[in-house]
Amino acid sequence: MRSIFIHYFRLYPGMKRRFAKLNKGIYYIGISCCMLLPMHPLSAQSIDELAVLLSEENPSLEALQRQYLAMEAKAPQLSQLPQPEVGVGAFVAPVETRLGAQRARLSISQMFPWFGTLESKAQLAQAQALVEKERIGDLSLELKFELKSAYFQLYEFRQTQSILQRKRVLLDGLRRLALNQVESGSGSAADVLSVELQTQALEQEVRILKNKEKQPIATINHLLKRPLSKAITTPDTLAFATLGIRPDSLRSMLLTQHPRLIGLAQKQAVAHQALRVNKLEGKPSFGVGADYILLSQRTDASPVGNGRDILQVSAKISIPLYRKRYEAKEREEKLKIEALDFQKEAVIQDFLNGIDQAVTAHEEAALRLSLYQQQIETSRTASRFTQATYSNSGSRFDELLKLEQDLIQYDLQILKAIVNSHLAKASIERYLNF
């Protein structure tokens, strides 16, 4: 605001004398600009604060977190031995033996997979859980980018309103100036009508922008699991965003930092572990057991050990003779590993392309910022001469009005360039997981 005030008071060397001549028309412009107050509170919520809330409150992230914990709890389930089998049998028609008739049978058995099979299955479950964990990081980056996009859009809407309010002040000052010229007989009523038309269009545009704020506000609150209309504050100013990346290190940064690529590498680790489990499951498994048979004593004879119960121990082996299942599983996992190699390369190329576009957008924003700053200086010089002409002869008001509009448009373009620089930086952070 101070810069606008200084701008108008530097228009002419003898400002006081010229203000008196113009019945203080331009003076109203400078004073009105000084009195223009900020539209929004000074205590704004930073994007970093909102990002922290996002990681804590977003329901989609919470769901993936619970799913990861559920998969992590699967490993202990797979590291246990199969349940032992216990059986009880009764002889409906007792079988006679030398020591008596068999009345009942108790049996118990336990199977043991090949050495290391259970541990490998538990490691497989843990590897699968880590894939789910990387999905959390990947989704978090996507949601943060969505949050930042909505935040900077909201900032742009509000700052555009501030700039248009400054334009309203300028139009009010020009209207008074035109009225004073009409009263002095050196101006035209058409000049006053032109300013009023501009003012009406500006007021409608401000109302439209105010209504547009609802969309990014609702997006941000939706991501944070809050009431959609909850107020969100934004800063009064943002500086042009700077980038701190080295193009030659992008590929290695992607491979080591982005959760999606880490997740793909983890999927390959899952496939390798599945191959080890498949190989172990193709080995024989063993079992041991015991049978206890209850005998009743003979009444027709009395042999040694009459009625003595029987204890039988046993061992068995399960040999996987049918190998097609294991061979097919091996081919499946090897093909998965190869497919994931191609998928990683495709993702890397997509990310590098996205980063390149973001860097290009940032460079374009910097060039536009420099251009508009130069054009502002040129337009101010032209405005100075045009106002001098109008104050002396009452002519060229249309040119004066257009120059003032151009100055506002340059402010809007500078705002757009700054917002685009932050969006470009947010896009790069989305890929590099800063």
Which DSSP letter does residue 42 get?
S
Burial 396-417 (b: 16+ CB within 10 A, else e): bbebbbebbbbbbbbbbbbbbb
Burial 19-44 (b: 16+ CB within 10 A, else e): beebbebbbbbbebbeeeeeeeeeee
- Kindly tell me if the per-residue pLDDT of 12 is higher than 50: no
Residues 311 and 401 in one domain: no
Query: Pick the residue with more confidence: 337 or 391?
Result: 337
Residues 306 and 326 in one domain: no
Q: Which of 273, 295, 319 lies at the terminal end of a domain, its last residue?
A: 319
CATH number of the domain within which 143 lies: 1.20.1600.10
Q: pLDDT band for 376, please (50, 70, 90 cuts).
A: confident
Look-up: residue for tokens 């390369």? 345
Residues 88 and 193 in one domain: no
Cβ–Cβ under 8 Å, residues 232 and 220: yes
Residues 131 and 151 in one domain: yes
Question: How many Cβ atoms are within 10 Å of 155's Cβ, its own excluded?
Answer: 23
First CA to last CA distance, the chain: 35
Query: Pick the residue with more confidence: 404 or 395?
Result: 404
Cβ–Cβ under 8 Å, residues 76 and 64: no
Cβ–Cβ under 8 Å, residues 311 and 292: yes
Whole domain around residue 294: which residue ranges?
Answer: 82-112+284-319
- Count of domains forming the chain: 2
Cβ–Cβ under 8 Å, residues 32 and 172: yes
Contacts of 194 (CB under 8 A, 6+ apart): 397, 398, 401
Q: Report the alpha-carbon distance of residue 394 to residue 186 in Å, rounded.
A: 5
Residues 176 and 298 in one domain: no
**How many residues are listed for the chain in this entry?**
434
Q: pLDDT band for 167, please (50, 70, 90 cuts).
A: confident
Cβ–Cβ under 8 Å, residues 369 and 420: no
Residues 379 and 349 in one domain: yes
Residues 93 and 223 in one domain: no
The DSSP string of 80-142 is: SPPPPEEEEEEEEEEEEETTEEEEEEEEEEEEEPSTTHHHHHHHHHHHHHHHHHHHHHHHHHH
Amino acid at 313: V
Q: Which of 319, 344, 369 lies at the terminal end of a domain, its last residue?
A: 319
- Kindly tell me if the per-residue pLDDT of 240 is higher than 70: yes
pTM over 0.85, yes/no: no
The pLDDT of residue 187 is 64
Residues 71 and 91 in one domain: no
Residues 162 and 293 in one domain: no
Cβ–Cβ under 8 Å, residues 176 and 28: yes
Residues 231 and 354 in one domain: yes
Q: Report the alpha-carbon distance of residue 224 to residue 213 in Å, rounded.
A: 17
Answer positive or negative: Cα dihedral of 242, 245, 247, 253.
negative
Residues 311 and 403 in one domain: no
- Kindly tell me if the per-residue pLDDT of 38 is higher than 50: no
The pLDDT of residue 260 is 94
Q: Which of 273, 300, 319 lies at the terminal end of a domain, its last residue?
A: 319
Residues 348 and 406 in one domain: yes
